Amino acid sequence: MTIVAVVVLTLSVTGTIGIFRPSILVTEIFAVLSFVFGHLIFSIVVSWYLLIFLDTYLSGRFLSDDLGRKHDKPESNIYQDDLLNNYFKLLIAVSLVLMSAGAITTKLLIQTRKNQGYVDVYAENAPQ
């Protein structure tokens, strides 16, 4: 999923800055896909963090009586120390970049449509 998200982000950004000149419809599709993938990845990562927190809290390992240990790491299978934590941070960064790219691309497309007169034409012909 991360590879697909990076490909969508790359195509969206290159279309926005003019290196790759697709049609406006293709750029709109890339913008929507990057926005959706960003939200999807972000929601999965936040849900996983919530699952880890609930697992440690409900099992009683969250509040430890042993003050000598620096970290009270759970013995759960879903928590695998720093590797998982770094991967989650990377996924959060990718998702935030995707959401930002989708929002910026959409804003630029709206501005392009306004400059071409599409938005005003649609507004004038809208039912009252």
Three-state secondary-structure class, residue 78: coil
> 62: which residues sit within 8 A by CB, 6+ positions away?
53, 56, 72
Q: Tokens in use for 18?
A: 């003019």
Tell me which range, 43-52, 57-66, 71-80, is most confidently predicted by mean pLDDT. 43-52
Count other C-beta atoms under 10 Å from residue 102's C-beta: 23
pLDDT at 95: 82
User: Tell me, what's the pLDDT at 67?
Assistant: 44
Model pLDDT, residue 119: 52
pLDDT of residue 82: 64
Show the tokens assigned to 104.
């910026």
